[in-house]
């Protein structure tokens, strides 16, 4: 992450200015407000604003006149009950707005999550910075042999060095051409190409930025999919940073999410049947389970 001294000063100025409020605040989230958390080589996540805390969830669930709190342990139990039983609307009472800087190919995955509000940096209006994502050596890997949507063995030696050189050279050449096309020259009468057109030769590892606002229910849905081991490493790095922030914001809700969603497993009717038969001492195979080979593989990966 490279912030200019001006950007760093703006963040510090925002953090030094405090205001009294009657609204509920979450101490854990106040500590994150405006601070830039680095992700990947030039990316960042920072909280711009938020609404609500753990109490806002229970307050809404009870449609309460006050803070909604009974005993703290009651609140925690109610949040866990709501999460367990997919009673989702109380979680929508909390909102968060992030500033995210991310490579365009990550943004393409991220934008598929439609239940959020987005405003992206305009490359029609402004010139993009010369910042490209180049994977760290441990993430430079070959195509996985078992998973068509994944990476496998890490590249080493001359092959790794050549791939890194190609990535860097292509990025720099594309950016040089971008600058060249944009730049007018009065001496030769060169007009310079419009920003909205010049950007089209830039590779998908260039960084973009956006403000992304989402409610807690849909944030959990995003995190469930993107902090999962099946998600691509690059978007997972962002999801994991947001998980850590969310844990500090709404500790009870995050704990329930971690227990019932991130760490939980959904069982099909056949899987429940197989587990019951196994507990009764029966030896069950894929052929007698009623599951497909793929289902059986996923089932035994969890249950042995
Ligand atoms: C590991 C992984 C691999 C993926 N691979 C691919 C791929 O190869 N190709 C590809 O195209 N995508 C792929 N995706 C994207 C995926 O299919 C979803 O588009 C993405 O995860 C967003 O999920 P969502 O629609 O549930 O989220 P959101 O858009 O946030 O929606 C949340 C929920 O709201 C409801 N909803 C929102 N909008 C509508 C609507 N218009 N109509 C009905 N219900 C709606 C749905 O219940 C939805 O689940 C992949 C995702 C993951 C995590």
The confidence score (pLDDT) of residue 145 equals 81
Pocket perturbation via mutation, ligand 1, pick of 105, 112, 148, 234 by most ligand atoms within 8 A of CB: 112
Among protein residues, the one whose CA lies closest to atom 34 of ligand 1: 115
* Whether the CB of 218 sits within 6 Å of ligand 1: yes
Cross-strand pairs, 119: 211
Residue 212 has which token pair?
Answer: 């992304």
Identify which of 96, 122, 99 has the alpha carbon closest to the alpha carbon of residue 43. 99
Q: Can you tell me the mean pLDDT for 22-34?
A: 96
CA distances from 178 to 7, 184, 199, 301 (A): 25, 12, 6, 48
Q: Which residues fall within 8 angstroms of residue 255, CB to CB, at 6 or more apart? A: 80, 247
Instruction: Summarize pLDDT for 223-279 with one digit per residue, the tens.
Output: 999 999 999 999 999 999 999 999 999 999 999 999 999 999 999 999 999 999 999
Instruction: Report DSSP state, residue 210.
Output: E
Q: Can you tell me the mean pLDDT for 1-16?
A: 91
pTM for this prediction: 0.94
Q: Can you tell me the mean pLDDT for 25-38?
A: 97
* End-to-end Cα spacing for the chain: 42
Q: Is 151 exposed, middle or buried (0-12, 13-18, 19+ CB in 10 A)?
A: middle
> Phi, psi at residue 143, to the nearest 5°?
-60, 135
* Whether the CB of 221 sits within 6 Å of ligand 1: yes
Rounded Cα–Cα distance for residues 170 and 300 (Å):
44
Instruction: Summarize pLDDT for 127-164 with one digit per residue, the tens.
Output: 999 999 999 999 998 888 877 788 888 898 999 999 99
Rounded Cα–Cα distance for residues 68 and 75 (Å):
9
* Whether the CB of 231 sits within 6 Å of ligand 1: yes
């Amino acid at each position: 992450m490279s912030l200019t001294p001006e950007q760093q000063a703006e963040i510090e100025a925002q953090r030094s200015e405090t205001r009294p409020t009657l609204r509920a605040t979450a101490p854990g989230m106040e500590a994150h407000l405006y601070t830039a958390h680095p992700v990947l080589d030039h990316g960042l996540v920072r909280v711009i604003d938020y609404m609500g805390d753990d109490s806002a969830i229970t307050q809404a669930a009870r449609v309460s006149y006050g803070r909604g709190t009974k005993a703290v342990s009651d609140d925690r139990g109610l949040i866990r009950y709501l999460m367990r039983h997919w009673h989702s609307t109380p979680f929508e009472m909390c909102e968060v707005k992030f500033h995210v800087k991310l490579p365009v190919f990550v943004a393409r995955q991220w934008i598929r999550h439609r239940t959020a509000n987005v405003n992206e940096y305009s490359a029609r209006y402004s010139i993009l910075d010369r910042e490209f994502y180049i994977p760290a050596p441990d993430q430079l890997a070959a195509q996985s042999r078992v998973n068509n949507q994944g990476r496998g063995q890490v590249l080493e030696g001359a092959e790794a060095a050549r791939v890194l050189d190609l990535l860097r050279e292509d990025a720099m050449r594309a950016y040089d051409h971008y600058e060249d096309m944009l730049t007018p020259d009065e001496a030769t009468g060169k007009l310079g190409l419009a920003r909205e057109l010049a950007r089209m030769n830039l590779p998908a590892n260039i960084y973009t930025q956006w403000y992304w606002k989402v409610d807690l229910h849909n944030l959990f849905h995003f995190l469930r999919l993107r902090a999962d081991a099946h998600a691509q490493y690059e978007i997972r790095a962002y999801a994991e940073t947001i998980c850590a922030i969310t844990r500090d914001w709404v500790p009870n809700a995050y704990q329930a999410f971690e227990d019932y969603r991130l760490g939980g497993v959904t069982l099909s009717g056949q899987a429940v049947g197989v587990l019951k038969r196994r507990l009764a001492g029966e030896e069950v195979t894929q052929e007698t389970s009623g599951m497909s080979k793929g289902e059986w593989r996923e089932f035994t990966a969890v249950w042995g």
